[in-house]
Amino acid sequence: MSSFASFLEMGGYGGFVWPAFALTAAVLLALLVDSLRRLKSGQRTLARLEAESPQRRSRSSADAAAGGQA
């Protein structure tokens, strides 16, 4: 317990060391979570739009058609 307390104390610099690590973790995680949310919401919207307009040829079928003509 006391060794853990002394670890947290960081030789008296705990008030500077831990905020530096915590802020770094918070900023990097926030950026990751925000980017993943943006990706998921984009993928969901795109999937919905593609499902709603089945008459619109998808890229792969267009490619296949172009390949068939060649």
Partner 1 sequence: MPLHRFANPGRFMRLADRLLPWTGGLAVLAIGLGLYLGLFVAPPDYQQGESVRIMYVHVPSAWMALFVYSCIALASAAALIWRHPLADLAAKASSPVGAAFTFLALVTGSLWGKPMWGTWWVWDARLTSVLVLFFLYLGHMALLSAFEDPARGRKAAAVLALVGFVNVPIIKFSVEWWNTLHQPASVFRLGGPTIHPDMLWPLLAMGLGFTLYYVSLLLIRIKCELIEARLRAFGRAAMAAAPAPAAQ
The gap from C-alpha 19 to its chain's centroid, in whole angstroms, comes to: 24
Reduced to 3 states, what is the DSSP secondary structure of residue 3? helix
DSSP letter assigned to residue 26:
H
- Cα-Cα-Cα-Cα torsion 49, 50, 51, 53, nearest 10 degrees, comes to 80
Q: Would you say 1 or 48 has its CB closer to partner 1?
A: 48
The gap from C-alpha 33 to its chain's centroid, in whole angstroms, comes to: 5
* Residues of this chain, 4-63, that bind partner 1 according to CB under 8 A: 10-13, 16-17, 19-21, 23-24, 27-28, 31-32, 35-36, 38-39, 42-43, 45-46, 49, 53, 55-56, 59-60
Binding site for partner 1 (CB under 8 A): 10-13, 16-17, 19-21, 23-24, 27-28, 31-32, 35-36, 38-39, 42-43, 45-46, 49, 53, 55-56, 59-60
